Amino acid sequence: MDLFLTYTILGLVLGSVYAIAASGLVLTYTTSGIFNFAHGAQAMLAAFLYWQFKVAWGMPTLVAFVLVVCVIGPLLGIVLYNVLMKGLRDVEEVTKVVVTVAVLLGMVALSQWIWDPTQARKMDMLFGSSTSIDVFGVVVRYHELLCVVSAIALAVALRLVFTRTRLGVTMRAVVDDPDLLRLNGYNPERIAMSSWALGSGLAAFAGVLVTPVAGGSLEANTLTLLVIDTFAAAMFGRLRSIPRTFACAIALGLVVTYAGGYAPTQWDWVSNFKAALPMVVLFLVLLVLPQDRLRGTSQTRTRERARVPSVRQAAVWGLAFVAIMYLILQVASPIMVGPLIAALVFAVIALSLVPLTGYAGEINLAPLSFGAIGVIVAFHTGIVGTGLAARLNWVGIVAGTIVTALVGGLVALPALRLRGLYLALGTMAFGGIVSTLVIKEIQPRHWFGLDIALFPAGILVVPPPKIGPLDMAKESTFLMTLAVLFAVLGIGIVALRNTGYGRRLAAMKDSPAATAMLGQSLVKLKLSVFMLSAGIAGLGGILMASTAGSVSAENFLIVVSLSLVMLTVVGGVSHVSGALFGGVMVGLVFTLISGTFSGLAIEHPEFESLFGSFAHLFAIAVALMGIGVNQNPTGVVHQICESYRPLRNARPVLYAGGAVAAGVYVLNYVGVYGDWWLAILMFCGVLLLPIVGRIWMPERMMTPAELAEHEARRTPPPELMGLDQPLSDTERFELDLLLGLPPRPLPLQEFAEELEQLTGKDEVHAPA
Partner 1 sequence: MPLLETQGVTVRFGGNTAVDDVSLSIEPGSVTGLIGPNGAGKTTLFNTVTGMQRPTSGRVFLDGRDITRKAPAKRAHLGVARTFQRLELFLSLSVRDNVRVAGDIVKASRRGAYDVNGETDRLLELTGLASIADLEVSSIPTGRARVVEVARALMTHPRLLLLDEPASGQTEHETEEFAVMLRGLADTGLGICLVEHDLPLVMQLCATIHVLDQGRLIASGTPAEVQASPEVIAAYIGNEEVTA
Residue 646: CB minimum distance to partner 1, A: 20
Residue 514: CB minimum distance to partner 1, A: 4
Residue 506: CB minimum distance to partner 1, A: 6
Nearer to partner 1, 169 or 755 (CB): 169
CA distances from 530 to 359, 362, 424 (A): 11, 8, 12
Three-state DSSP state, 421: helix
Q: Name 290's Cβ contacts closer than 8 Å, sequence gap at least 6.
A: none
Nearer to partner 1, 307 or 648 (CB): 307
Task: Tell whether the torsion through CA atoms of 145, 146, 148 and 149 is positive or negative.
Answer: positive
Rounded to whole angstroms, the Cα distance separating 280 from 411 reads 11
Nearer to partner 1, 2 or 176 (CB): 176
Residue 163: CB minimum distance to partner 1, A: 14
Contact of 558 with 225, CB cutoff 8 Å: yes
Backbone angles phi, psi at 504, to 5 degrees: -65, -40
Nearer to partner 1, 417 or 710 (CB): 417
Backbone angles phi, psi at 551, to 5 degrees: -130, 150
Residue 707: CB minimum distance to partner 1, A: 25
Kindly report the number of other CB atoms within 10 A of residue 648's CB atom: 10
Q: How many CA atoms lie within 13 A of 37 on its CB side?
A: 29
Nearest to 50, CA basis, from 107, 115, 135, 2: 115
Kindly report the number of other CB atoms within 10 A of residue 207's CB atom: 32
Of all residues in the chain, what percent are helix, strand and coil, respectively (each to 5)?
75, 5, 20
Rounded to whole angstroms, the Cα distance separating 364 from 434 reads 14
Residue 188: CB minimum distance to partner 1, A: 20
Residue 170: CB minimum distance to partner 1, A: 19
Nearer to partner 1, 166 or 301 (CB): 301
Residue 517: CB minimum distance to partner 1, A: 6
Nearer to partner 1, 513 or 755 (CB): 513
Kindly report the number of other CB atoms within 10 A of residue 83's CB atom: 11
Contact of 360 with 529, CB cutoff 8 Å: yes
Nearer to partner 1, 309 or 382 (CB): 309
Residue 275: CB minimum distance to partner 1, A: 38
Q: Name 678's Cβ contacts closer than 8 Å, sequence gap at least 6.
A: 331, 664, 665, 668
Residue 184: CB minimum distance to partner 1, A: 18
Nearest to 345, CA basis, from 504, 546, 507, 201: 546
Residue 519: CB minimum distance to partner 1, A: 3
Beta strands in 82-213 (DSSP E): 132-135, 138-141
Task: Tell whether the torsion through CA atoms of 209, 214, 218 and 219 is positive or negative.
Answer: negative
Rounded to whole angstroms, the Cα distance separating 367 from 386 reads 30
Residue 293: CB minimum distance to partner 1, A: 7
Nearest to 319, CA basis, from 493, 499, 486: 486
Residue 511: CB minimum distance to partner 1, A: 4
Nearer to partner 1, 118 or 298 (CB): 298
Q: Parallel, antiparallel, or unpaired: how do β-strands 459-461 and 550-552 relate?
A: antiparallel
Q: Given phi > 0 = left and psi -120 to 50 = alpha, else beta, which region is 336?
A: alpha
Rounded to whole angstroms, the Cα distance separating 635 from 629 reads 7
Backbone angles phi, psi at 552, to 5 degrees: -135, -175
Nearer to partner 1, 84 or 525 (CB): 525
* Alpha helix stretches (DSSP H) within 214-241: 220-236
Nearer to partner 1, 516 or 660 (CB): 516
Nearest to 543, CA basis, from 367, 378, 356: 378
Residue 409: CB minimum distance to partner 1, A: 18
Contact of 38 with 250, CB cutoff 8 Å: no
Q: Identity (one letter) of the amino acid at 721?
A: M
Nearer to partner 1, 94 or 365 (CB): 94
Contact of 200 with 74, CB cutoff 8 Å: yes
Nearer to partner 1, 523 or 667 (CB): 523
Residue 496: CB minimum distance to partner 1, A: 13
Nearer to partner 1, 327 or 518 (CB): 518
Nearer to partner 1, 524 or 604 (CB): 524
CA distances from 768 to 289, 732, 737, 755 (A): 85, 18, 11, 13
Beta strands in 206-265 (DSSP E): none
Residue 297: CB minimum distance to partner 1, A: 7
Rounded to whole angstroms, the Cα distance separating 342 from 548 reads 8
Nearer to partner 1, 190 or 524 (CB): 524
Nearer to partner 1, 167 or 514 (CB): 514
Interface residues with partner 1 (CB under 8 A) are 293-299, 301, 306, 500-501, 503-504, 506-507, 509-511, 513-522
Q: Is 432 exposed, middle or buried (0-12, 13-18, 19+ CB in 10 A)?
A: buried
